[in-house]
Structures are given as C-alpha cells and as structure tokens.
Structure 1
Amino acid sequence: MTFALRPHVSTARTENGTVLLDETTGRYWQLNTTAAFILNTLIEGASTQEAAHRLRERHPTLPTEQAAGDVASVIRALSAAHLGATVA
C-alpha cells in the first residue's frame, strides 16, 4: 500500500520542510522536515513499512515502533485533511 497526494494539492519545499496548498479551499499546511521526508518517501512509491525503514536509516536512534507510528501519523493527518489517500 502506498500514499498519494490528491490532484488538487500543490507542494513547495522550504528550508524547514514542505508547504502543502489545497487549491480547492486555499488552505495550506506546513510540514516539518521529518514529515516532509516521510511524505516524499511515500509519494515516491515506498510502502509505509519502507518509509519507516528509511526514516530509521536517517535517524538511527529512533525506535522501530516510533518510526512506524510517525509514518502512520503523517498519513492519518494528511488523509483527515483530505490532502492525500492510501492507494493499493
């Protein structure tokens, strides 16, 4: 299972992460560098498990369960805001 942004969402990388703009509502969200890394990994086609693994590679002291939880949290937040969805 992978994650994709909806077609009406634009992204812009910033020095501190990524900004997402919902073009239908005009609302935007600021993702910190960790959330942006997770999002970019997912939209490049990585599974949630692979995204958690890559997050742990980036932060070796991060416990496996926390990495998986962080990936799940980003997916939940973006899905709840109607910015993205998991795809099979």
Structure 2
Amino acid sequence: MTLKLREGVFTAETEYGIALLDEDRDQYFTLNPTAAVAVRTLLDGQPVAAAVRAITDRYAVDADSADRDIQELIGELRSAGLVEEDAGDVGPGDVDAGDMDAGHGAAWRRTRRRSS
C-alpha cells in the first residue's frame, strides 16, 4: 500500500508535529509528534512496517501497539477523506479497516478555519 494525500490536502510543519490542510473543505487536522513520524514515513512511500520501526525506534512502544495505532490513524485519515491509497502494493501489516482497534486514542484533531 502506498499512501498519498488527496489533491487539495497539504502538509505544514508545526512546533508540535504536522498539520494537514484541507483547502477544499476549509479544515485542518493537527497530528501529534508520533502520528507525524508515521505519516511522514508513509507519505515517503514506505510501508506500514517501516512506520512501525520509525515509531519503535523513537518512542517506548512495542511493535504491536505501534502497528495498531498506525492502522487506526490511516483509517481515520481515510475516513476524513485526506488520503488516497494505491493497493497495488498490499502486503502483511497493511491496513484492513475491519481490523482497527478502537481502544487506542486519536492522534489527530480536526479544526475548521475561521473566516476573517
């Protein structure tokens, strides 16, 4: 699976992580530092397994928990219409929306931009 941002969605680095700016829907989504590492890795064309390694290398979390959290994050980004996937590369560890663990907290927050 290759993850890419939908047309009209852009990234912006922040002090805290990254923001995904959805110009079409006039919203932005802030990602915490852990989610930012995962999203950067996936947007660079790396598989979920590489994002898991990137997280476990930086944070005190086991691989199974990191994998579940990344799968949940991808599902949330997909549900919000922010990303597109090329399933031509599907393999073990890739996302199946039915397998997402609802017990993990969200790593991002949606906000509507205010009109000036």
Q: If the length of structure 1 is used for normalisation, what is the TM-score? A: 0.91
| Mapped partners of 1:78, 1:6: distance in 2 | 10
Aligned residues: 87
- Alignment map for 1:9-88 (pairs within 5 Å): 9-59=9-59, 61-87=60-86, 88=88
**RMSD of aligned C-alpha atoms?**
1.1
Find the residue that maps to 1:40 and give its secondary structure.
helix
Shift of 1:72: 0.5
- 4+ residue stretches of structure 1 with deviation over 2 A? none
Unaligned residue ranges in structure 2 (runs of 5+): 89-116
Which position in structure 1 is the counterpart of 2:108? none
Structure number with larger C-alpha Rg: 2
Q: Which has the higher helix share?
A: 1
Could you state the TM-score of these two structures normalised by the residue count of structure 2?
0.70
